[in-house]
Amino acid sequence: MCEANGTATGKILLENSRMRVTEWRFAKRGDNTGWHKHAFDYLVIPMFDGVLEIDQPDGTRVEAKLQNGVPYDRKAGVEHDVINGNDFECAFIEVELLEDAPSV
């Protein structure tokens, strides 16, 4: 993810020329990533059952219900602020695809 200035903490677990894997941790309700725009396609793997609140550029907020271990993916260009909507600490793994896979 590009630089964001929220209260959630990101820890890079793996990075190479093809991917970056980051653990994002939200200690309490209301912790957030800060506004950011994804420069790469990415995959998110929740490590909890619960909700994240997503602020969008048009001023709306949507609730995303997540299930532990059930991934979802998004294309580059997504802009948002991700907020912990739970009364407990939560985390997810984000895998950014920094380049296309080589052709076979």
- Give, in order, the Cα–Cα distances in Å from 100 to each of 19, 41, 43: 10, 9, 14
Mean residue pLDDT of the chain comes to: 94
Q: How far is CA 81 from CA 15, 32, 58, 74, 104, in A?
A: 23, 7, 12, 14, 37
* Predicted confidence (pLDDT) per residue in 34-44, tens digit: 999 999 999 99
The separation between the first and the last C-alpha atoms of the chain, rounded to the nearest angstrom, is 28
User: Residue 60: is its pLDDT beyond 90?
Assistant: yes
Amino acid of residue 10: G
- Rounded CA-CA distance 73/67 in Å is 14
Q: For 73-93, how does the pLDDT look when each residue is reduced to its tens digit (9 = 90+)?
A: 999 999 999 999 999 999 999
Q: Is the pTM of this model over 0.75?
A: yes
Domains in the chain: ranges and CATH:
9-97 (2.60.120.10)
